[in-house]
Amino acid sequence: MTMTVFYSVLFVLGLVFIFFRPLAKLFRIQPYWEIGAGALFTIMFAFHLTSIFVMEPAMEEELAKRPCGESSPQGRCYTLEKSLCETAWQGAEVQCKTELAQFIKEHPSGLIGPALNRCRARKMDQVLKFNRTNTESDYCRAYFEVIQGK
């Protein structure tokens, strides 16, 4: 909050510099310096607003969509602590890479991310099948069908 007040003061100061040019009148300097400083303050205010009101929610959404995030299938369809979920997700990676080694060897330039993620989800579901929740929701039912290959 204090940073927003600080940048708001800079914004108002920048507008005063741009439109009224008090330093140019007081010290007889070129007005271009004031216009430049005013533009800089205004741009700093715009960056601050962008970082607070645009980037922060976007980063929160992105983190929620990551594996084991609140909006991810693992977060919505299982009752797990985040640390346990992340451990199971990371533990499945080694097994899946060995399973997909032949595929990776045959298709070295192919995109293996979706296949790897599907394999990881399948391995995780095999281990944590009893922690399923929301099995009646369409989202989770579709997710379980995809990872089971139906």
Q: Looking up tokens 């140019």, which residue turns up?
A: 24
pTM of model > 0.85: no
Look up residue 47 and give its two tokens: 């960056």
Collect all residues with Cβ–Cβ distance below 8 Å to 56 and sequence separation of at least 6. none
Collect all residues with Cβ–Cβ distance below 8 Å to 22 and sequence separation of at least 6. 16, 34
Helical packing angle, 113-127 and 138-148, nearest 10°: 100
* Mean pLDDT score, 119-124: 91
Task: Identify the CA nearest to 89 among candidates 111, 116, 67.
Answer: 67
DSSP 51: I
Give the pLDDT of residue 9: 97
Give the pLDDT of residue 115: 83
Collect all residues with Cβ–Cβ distance below 8 Å to 127 and sequence separation of at least 6. 88, 92
Collect all residues with Cβ–Cβ distance below 8 Å to 134 and sequence separation of at least 6. 76, 77, 140
Half-sphere exposure of 22 (CA within 13 A, CB side): 6
Higher pLDDT pick, 144 / 149: 144
* Mean pLDDT score, 92-96: 89
Give the pLDDT of residue 110: 67
* pLDDT per residue as tens digits for the range 33-42: 999 999 999 9
* pLDDT per residue as tens digits for the range 51-93: 888 888 887 777 667 888 888 888 889 888 889 888 888 889 8
Give the pLDDT of residue 150: 58
Candidate from 2-6, 103-107, 139-143 with smallest mean pLDDT: 103-107
